[in-house]
Amino acid sequence: MSVIGVVLAGGKSSRMGQDKALLRLPNGKTLLEHSIELLNGLGLADVVISRATRPDKIAQDISCIADQTFNLGPLSGIAAVINARPEANALLIIPVDLPFLTDELLAELLERGQNLQCASYFCKHYLPCYLPINNTTTSYIAQQLENPDARRSVFGLLKNANALALPVDSNFLANANTPEEWQRVFRHYSSHSFKGI
């Protein structure tokens, strides 16, 4: 079975005022590097970045897959990855802005999805998630991207795929959308108050 890890990093970061993917944690790694490392540790068939441009200084040798439709949110990035990787059976998708996400949580998600069961930690953005690639998911995404009135939410995608909702301590999925939230995350990260660091 071919499962591909995806870091969603194609958003506008308008609330942050600068590219979230390139924010640097106290350990010196950018959020993007941190996310890639987590996925690389899982032994997946491949790991890709969902984003228009590859950051100059990224250390890892990794493919960047650009959205084919613009300003339509994460579903657009997911659609582009599915198109670019026709051999994939499923995607393990994480957003770039989860500094406290752990490899244990991702490994559990992967395990729960192994029978091609859609699964997610139902918390805030409904990501990370394990998304099987089948008619149910691809037709839902296509229909959402084509319909100008559609909400195009990750929640809608997961609900349509009858996703398993896995329990989680929401501290591990704390994210940062604004400079103030980033300061808070940075302070927590520095004080080593979470297992994920």
Ligand X SMILES: Nc1nc2c(ncn2[C@@H]2O[C@H](COP(=O)(O)OP(=O)(O)OP(=O)(O)O)[C@@H](O)[C@H]2O)c(=O)[nH]1
Relative to beta strand 119-121, strand 63-65 is unpaired
Minimum separation from the CB atom of position 47 to ligand X (A) = 15
Taking contact as CB under 6 A, which single stretch among the options 3-11, 102-110, 115-123, 131-139 is the one that binds ligand X? 3-11
Site for ligand X contains 144 (CB under 6 A): no
Tell me which residue of 91, 160, 86, 163 sits closest to 131, measured CA to CA. Answer: 91
Minimum separation from the CB atom of position 71 to ligand X (A) = 6
Site for ligand X contains 124 (CB under 6 A): no
Taking contact as CB under 6 A, which single stretch among the options 40-48, 94-102, 144-152, 180-188 is the one that binds ligand X? 94-102
Helical segments of the chain, H only: 31-40, 74-84, 103-112, 135-146, 154-160, 179-190
CA distance 113 to 20: 28
CA distance 167 to 2: 26
In the window 4-63, what residues touch ligand X (CB under 6 A)?
8-16, 20, 50-51
Scanning the structure block, which residue is given the tokens 């941190």? 34
Minimum separation from the CB atom of position 50 to ligand X (A) = 4
Residues marked as binding for Mg(2+)? 97
